[in-house]
Amino acid sequence: MSDTLQIKSVPISRRDSFNTRDKQTRELKPFYSGDIKILLLENISQKAVDILNKAGYQVEFHTKALDKDALIEKIKDVHVVGIRSKTKLTQEVLSHANKLIAIGCFCIGTNQVDLTYAASRGICVFNSPFSNSRSVAELVIAEIILLARQLGDRSREMHDGVWNKVSNNCYEIRGKTLGIIGYGHIGTQLGVLAESLGMHVIWYDILPLMPIGMSTAVESLDEVLAEADFVSCHVPETPETKNMIGARELALMKPGSYLINASRGTVVDIDALAASLKSGHLAGAAVDVYPKEPLANGPGFESPLRNCPNTLLTPHIGGSTEEAQRMIGIEVATAATKFVNTGASINAVNFAECDLRAIPSTDRTTVRIVNVHQNVPGVLRQINNILADYNVNKQISDSKGDVAYFMADVTVEDSKDINTIYEHVTAIGENIITRVLF
């Protein structure tokens, strides 16, 4: 550890600090920030690469997911890994991640990561739950119109050289009822767009939420299924949502209605949906997510839904727009950079959310201690006993489940004391990870 601390200052902002008396604040960095290694997989947005490069990290970029053996080898020596939906960070993989402190999921879902095990290793997980909401909502609107006009089948017929001009069972969507299952960020945006096209919107959610526009909440899932002409699913993957749309639920839907799933592949029973389409009970469906998805682009996709009538199949592209990927890249890369540099865990998925106000640029002797430990009685007392001989300017601690997170800004006049603090905190039996930022 160097005896000379190279301290930079940055302009203050309301978001970063409540200290409005000082126009400059300290820019915190981990020791040896140039040695921070980042592994980005699955063609993460160039904007994210730019942000991480600007932070001074070593960035390794791959356009595709890695197989398990290659991933285990690569993850041994990196501090942050960025993934999308194909890479599976299981306990087996993460057990080899000796230096990993953060995972960036450049997508909405985090079910591809063992969140509990990651937290137990002191690995903070970030995602981007809202940045692609508009892209998904627009795709669903497009699919509603395509299904109502049977455009998928007509297009395929034309490519096959068949001219089939028909109007039977083709409809305008104006005046039709859209039923939304899951009234979160995507569901609300979808409702607004649908109303602008003249649709009636009803929705069901397990939480009491404020309706937007003229939409109406209903009391049960069954009520949505029975009343809607189009049903669109927007729920997370949980044990409760697995196969929540099965044979029973499909039978409750109006004859000639349509089902759209752009949420998670386990939400809809694919075999039951295929049977409902082939029987003619449903007039069509659009599916963007599947229980099992290929790891790479190319041939080999199999599904009972293939060749079902008036069925639109897309390869999990709901959030795959340039705009969404850019916003996701900015959000996740910025969150990961702040966590590495300042310890801020705001918007973390598996950690308690903690942050401290910025350090004024005039303060040249304060360092930040960041600690992850087992959430058991007595640990904070041990840490504060270690810090008792120093001036603690501010500190924060919070917990989530079995893991607790602690941050403190400590005045250290002699840089040799930094090693002393670090060694003593690290020696606590319940310690998981301790870092020093300056």
Catalogue the active-site residues: 264, 293, 316
**How far is the CA of 173 from the CAs of 119, 142, 224, 385, in angstroms?**
46, 11, 17, 67
Q: For the chain, report the end-to-end CA distance as a whole number of angstroms.
A: 12
Is the distance from CB of 82 to CB of 39 less than 8 angstroms?
Answer: yes
Q: How many whole angstroms separate alpha carbon 20 and alpha carbon 286?
A: 52
DSSP bridge partners of 25: 10, 360
Structure tokens at 239: 């044990």
Q: How many whole angstroms separate alpha carbon 150 and alpha carbon 74?
A: 47
Backbone angles phi, psi at 434, to 5 degrees: -125, 135
Q: How many whole angstroms separate alpha carbon 257 and alpha carbon 228?
A: 7
Pairing assessment for the beta strands 80-83 and 102-105 based on DSSP bridges? parallel
Q: How many whole angstroms separate alpha carbon 268 and alpha carbon 270?
A: 6
